[in-house]
Chains A and B, each alone.
Chain A
Amino acid sequence: MNTTIQKIGRRGFLKAGAATAGGLMLGFYLPESKLQAQNAAGDAKLNAFVHVAPNDSITLFLHKSEMGQGVVTSLSQLLAEELECDWNKVRTQFAGVDRAYGPLQGTFGSMSIRTTWEPLRKAGASAREMLLQAAAQKWNVDASQCRAENNQIINSASNARLSYGSLAEDAAKVPVPAKVTLKDPKQFHLIGTSPKRLDTPAKVCGKAEFGLDVRRPGELYAVVARCPVFEGKVASFDDTKAKAVPGVQQVVRISSGVAVLADNTWSAMEGRRALEIQWDEGRNANLSTAGIRKMFADLAEKPGAVARNDGNAEAALSGAAKKIEAVYEAPYLAHAPMEPMNCTADVRPDSCEVWASTQIQTAAHGTAMKITGLPPEKVQIHTTFLGGGFGRRGGADFVAEAVEISKAAGVPVKLTWSREDDMQHDLYRPASYTRFSAGLDGEGWPVALTSRIVSPAFGGLKDGVSRNAVEGIDDTPYAIAALHVDYHNGDPGIPVTFWRSVGYSQNTFFLESFVDELAAAGGKDPLELRRRLLAKSPRLLGVLELAAEKAGWGKPLAAGRARGIGVNDNIGSFTAQVAEVSVTGGKLRVHRVVCAVDCGHVVNPHIIEQQLQSGIVYGMSAALKGAITIDRGRVQQQNFDHYDVLRIDEMPVVEVYIVPSQEAPGGIGEATTPGTAPAIANAIFAATGKRIRQLPIRTGDLA
């Protein structure tokens, strides 16, 4: 991987927003994806910075958003390992967005560690070498006589010490080393450990600044009334009563609806309630969940675009000793991060500033440029902490609204979405309908599998197939000789986007459940069948064996309890989960989830454990509760009363086991969400004989 490292002059300091100029500042290139890493040529743009300040603090300017996944801490560890920092002197600051920072600045796809693993260590090593050279020059000794330790350069002969801060100005005059040698992993003292998260202290006293906490002088607080039907428009409106509400200052029409601006958020909400709007509901006015489901089922009758075709599935099926068929379904889902969508914008004739909890700064920037007509350098995006992201904050719809409102109203504006707005105008996890058939040989082993997937596409089609809709099935590591997967883009017009783990979020449930059906039909133990099908996938097999052992697979359980397995390989990491459940009087309880992961090199075990637990809870909310349903073109759920999520009294004991590995690091944020639903559903089958083929799991499915 090419890493470009350059010194940054005074102008660059200002661009990066360094609190104080002076000292040593290095810019380096962090690729956004493997593809970009391969394409990174010598002229790669710089998008992250490290600043060694005269006051001895080390600041990492992060181009990644912190939404709980721990990048503030784990990325700092990568830098500090090679830079030999005093951990207490490490700071982070969210970098601005600029064309010079790279083509797609954002945080998605569990890519942060994977794309920074090498560049950040190289940046740290480069800064360390420059500090070493500066100290060696000062002492008039050879650099080989000096070593870096705990924010100091030490003269090994004389034991003299110079702090990084005192060397920073001189180090800035040293040429950037052409090549640095990175540590052997055996020498790591910070990578692989769990120092305290750098963002915790600010998050336990209310000081961490989220998008919703941004305050600008002279701002007004805005909310928007939007058509409850997707793509519907304002036909006409009367704002007389809204303007009479105390505190309401302005009402402006924007592309997505009618905005009410007031002295505070509550007055804006009261004003919105008083608006009288006639909607043109448009083409989606008759959409319903039942209609969408029928459309999916009708499409599933016909062959679709082929996503994978190994062997001759048709022949293998007709020659099979036993044939099994099943249809699986998953609903649309909202992301429901705890911080509802919001954005603060200050549009002036010659500038635009935006403060947002965004996952994709480049999209926010481009959106603001388009609406204001301003050139890129006149539009500034400030990233705050994100109160959850889960894919939702990759959208720039909330940024567009705030910029439009500020432009129209001529004042700085803080736009807040209510929870109802958030739930009814999300970009949803797509619903999906999948029909499986499989054939077993005379001994009960699978010989053929077909899957027809119907689900709305997003992110483009290739040869008629949406990668985001078929992943988790067409890329299955299960060795089945005859495998056929095809796909229909069933798109009723509900806006959809990435949702933690994307296609795997539903497809892993479908496939892992159906594989369990094959085990039952063939008279095999679910673990035994998976072992056989994963014989040539050593890392997945490894986590399967570890999770099974730790869960006590095959050992007796308390009366009424049963276990189920879900395995998954999605973001360069491998996980297996064993859920332990009971069903009593039709009531499901998930008692324990044992999870094993192989995510390559471990940067911070505590954060990995947190993320795996987090993914399991997110997966449980979807498995047990989540469904967005549509009636007359409207989302029927408005708030947590009808779109409930997992709560502490339903939390199982989660145990995490990490496989030691020297492989390149995998992702972690999306690793466990896919495997939880099938582990639970398969355990329900083991406990009750009821097969769950539709999410969420309803009480009626268990009785």
Chain B
Amino acid sequence: MAAIQFTLNGKPQSVDVPSRMPLLWVLRDTLGMTGTKFGCGMALCGACTVHVNGQPIRSCSMPISGVAGKKVTSIEGLSADNSHPVQRAWIEEDVPQCGYCQSGQIMTAAGLLAKTANPTDADIDEAMHGNVCRCGTYQSIRKAVHLAARYQAAANGKVARGDA
């Protein structure tokens, strides 16, 4: 068992755990960062979504060895003060109900907007159908993703869908 090094939310991190141990449990149990949630353990529900080198991935199915040398961002690293456009939009639309899946929803949405600044409903469906919400917040999520796109565009000085 050799120490595995990666960058977590902008800071170097070293963990001495079995190489097969999923990133999810390293984050939650070893490092005590519980914002990333356990939902299914099989990449079927999206609750555990984090970014690895900017790409949304399911941390429950990613062995820690797979992120060695890479940049991991968890919900705790998205912003220090809920100021990310997706978080602002989630607050404005009051999206969460129970809230358990929302870390994963937000990380997936942030990944979508990083790649597609101006997503259509079809883009949202494609990016987010892997994120289950049993409270059924999907309609609010859809609205909030569009709003987040506008916040992001405003921050970048651009015009987004729905503003025209």
Interface residues of A (CB under 8 A from B): 66-70, 194, 196-197, 199-210, 212-213, 215, 221, 246-247, 263-267, 336-340, 385-390, 416, 418-420, 606, 610-611, 613-618, 621, 639-641, 645-649, 651, 653-654
Contacts of B140 in A (CB 8 A): 610, 613
CB of B137, distance to nearest CB on chain A (Å):
7
In the complex formed, the residue of B with least CB distance to A645 is B132
A388 with B45: CB separation less than 8 A? no
B138: which of A387, A389, A617 is its contact (CB, 8 Å)?
Answer: A617
The number of chain B residues with a CB under 8 A from chain A is 61
- Max chain B Cβ within 10 angstroms of own Cβ: one of A203, A215, A610, A641: A203
Contacts of B97 in A (CB 8 A): 68-70, 610-611, 614
Scan residues 1-44 of chain B and give those whose CB is less than 8 A from a CB of chain A: 1, 17-18, 21-22, 25, 28-30, 32-42, 44
A203 with B96: CB separation less than 8 A? yes
Give the 6 A-B CB pairs with smallest separation, nearest first: A206-B35, A617-B136, A387-B100, A68-B97, A203-B99, A68-B98
- Max chain A Cβ within 10 angstroms of own Cβ: one of B22, B134, B139: B134
In the complex formed, the residue of A with least CB distance to B131 is A648
B34: which of A215, A221, A640 is its contact (CB, 8 Å)?
Answer: A215
Contacts of A206 in B (CB 8 A): 33-36, 74-76, 103
Contacts of B33 in A (CB 8 A): 206
A385: which of B99, B129, B135 is its contact (CB, 8 Å)?
Answer: B99
Known: A68-B97, A212-B34, A385-B99. A338 touches B47 (CB 8 A): yes
In the complex formed, the residue of A with least CB distance to B29 is A264
Known: A418-B41, A639-B44, A649-B125. A205 touches B138 (CB 8 A): no
With an 8 A cutoff between CB atoms, is B151 at the interface? no
B35 with A207: CB separation less than 8 A? yes
Contacts of A201 in B (CB 8 A): 82, 91
Known: A203-B102, A246-B18, A388-B98. A340 touches B38 (CB 8 A): yes
Known: A197-B96, A387-B99, A647-B129. A640 touches B91 (CB 8 A): no
Distance, CA A210 to CA B129, complexed state (A): 24
CB of B149, distance to nearest CB on chain A (Å):
16
CB of B59, distance to nearest CB on chain A (Å):
12
Known: A418-B41, A639-B40. A645 touches B129 (CB 8 A): no
With an 8 A cutoff between CB atoms, is B57 at the interface? no
Distance, CA A213 to CA B75, complexed state (A): 14
A648: which of B91, B106, B125 is its contact (CB, 8 Å)?
Answer: B125
Distance, CA A618 to CA B131, complexed state (A): 15
- Max chain B Cβ within 10 angstroms of own Cβ: one of A246, A337, A386, A648: A648
Known: A68-B96, A204-B82, A617-B133. 4 other contacts (CB 8 A): A210-B100, A613-B139, A614-B137, A647-B131
- Max chain B Cβ within 10 angstroms of own Cβ: one of A68, A606, A641, A654: A68
Contacts of A204 in B (CB 8 A): 82, 87, 90-91, 95-96, 102, 106
A68 with B76: CB separation less than 8 A? no
A339: which of B35, B37, B133 is its contact (CB, 8 Å)?
Answer: B37
A387: which of B25, B98, B130 is its contact (CB, 8 Å)?
Answer: B98
With an 8 A cutoff between CB atoms, is B72 at the interface? no
Distance, CA A81 to CA B41, complexed state (A): 44
Distance, CA A390 to CA B134, complexed state (A): 10
Known: A264-B30, A388-B134, A648-B129. A340 touches B102 (CB 8 A): no
Interface residue SS majority, chain B: loop
Contacts of A266 in B (CB 8 A): 21-22, 25, 29
CB of B73, distance to nearest CB on chain A (Å):
12
With an 8 A cutoff between CB atoms, is B78 at the interface? yes
B98 with A385: CB separation less than 8 A? yes
With an 8 A cutoff between CB atoms, is B159 at the interface? no
Distance, CA A387 to CA B17, complexed state (A): 28
Known: A614-B136, A649-B129. A208 touches B99 (CB 8 A): yes
A648 with B99: CB separation less than 8 A? no
Contacts of A202 in B (CB 8 A): 99
Contacts of B37 in A (CB 8 A): 210, 212, 338-339, 387
B134 with A648: CB separation less than 8 A? no
A651 with B74: CB separation less than 8 A? no
Distance, CA A336 to CA B135, complexed state (A): 11
CB of A565, distance to nearest CB on chain B (Å):
21
A640 with B82: CB separation less than 8 A? no
CB of B22, distance to nearest CB on chain A (Å):
6
Distance, CA A386 to CA B135, complexed state (A): 12
Distance, CA A117 to CA B122, complexed state (A): 42
CB of B125, distance to nearest CB on chain A (Å):
4
Contacts of A390 in B (CB 8 A): 134
In the complex formed, the residue of B with least CB distance to A209 is B34
Distance, CA A207 to CA B79, complexed state (A): 12
A265 with B29: CB separation less than 8 A? yes
Contacts of B76 in A (CB 8 A): 205-206
CB of B84, distance to nearest CB on chain A (Å):
9
B25: which of A265, A386, A613 is its contact (CB, 8 Å)?
Answer: A265
B74 with A645: CB separation less than 8 A? no
In the complex formed, the residue of B with least CB distance to A417 is B38
Distance, CA A486 to CA B44, complexed state (A): 42
Contacts of B32 in A (CB 8 A): 215
8 A/B residue pairs, CB under 8 Å, sorted by A: A69-B97, A204-B102, A205-B76, A206-B76, A210-B37, A385-B98, A388-B100, A648-B125
With an 8 A cutoff between CB atoms, is B52 at the interface? no
Distance, CA A254 to CA B15, complexed state (A): 33
Contacts of A419 in B (CB 8 A): 39-42, 44-45
Known: A212-B34, A610-B140, A640-B40. A221 touches B29 (CB 8 A): yes
B139 with A651: CB separation less than 8 A? yes
Contacts of A337 in B (CB 8 A): 98, 100, 134
In the complex formed, the residue of B with least CB distance to A414 is B29
Known: A221-B29, A265-B25, A418-B41. A200 touches B139 (CB 8 A): no
B139 with A205: CB separation less than 8 A? no
Distance, CA A26 to CA B142, complexed state (A): 42
CB of A339, distance to nearest CB on chain B (Å):
5
CB of B64, distance to nearest CB on chain A (Å):
10
With an 8 A cutoff between CB atoms, is B124 at the interface? yes
B139: which of A69, A221, A388, A653 is its contact (CB, 8 Å)?
Answer: A653
Contacts of A66 in B (CB 8 A): 98
Known: A200-B90, A649-B125. A338 touches B96 (CB 8 A): no
CB of B96, distance to nearest CB on chain A (Å):
4
Contacts of A614 in B (CB 8 A): 97, 135-137
Contacts of B147 in A (CB 8 A): none
- Max chain B Cβ within 10 angstroms of own Cβ: one of A194, A265, A336, A616: A265
Interface string of B71-114 (1 = CB under 8 A from A): 00011101100100001001100111111111100100000000
Contacts of B126 in A (CB 8 A): 649
CB of A383, distance to nearest CB on chain B (Å):
14
B82 with A338: CB separation less than 8 A? no
Distance, CA A387 to CA B48, complexed state (A): 14
In the complex formed, the residue of A with least CB distance to B75 is A206
CB of A105, distance to nearest CB on chain B (Å):
20
Distance, CA A390 to CA B136, complexed state (A): 12
CB of B126, distance to nearest CB on chain A (Å):
8
Distance, CA A606 to CA B93, complexed state (A): 10
Contacts of B141 in A (CB 8 A): 648
Contacts of B125 in A (CB 8 A): 648-649
CB of B108, distance to nearest CB on chain A (Å):
10
Distance, CA A369 to CA B35, complexed state (A): 32
In the complex formed, the residue of A with least CB distance to B47 is A338
CB of B154, distance to nearest CB on chain A (Å):
19
Distance, CA A618 to CA B25, complexed state (A): 29
Contacts of B131 in A (CB 8 A): 647-648
In the complex formed, the residue of A with least CB distance to B145 is A648
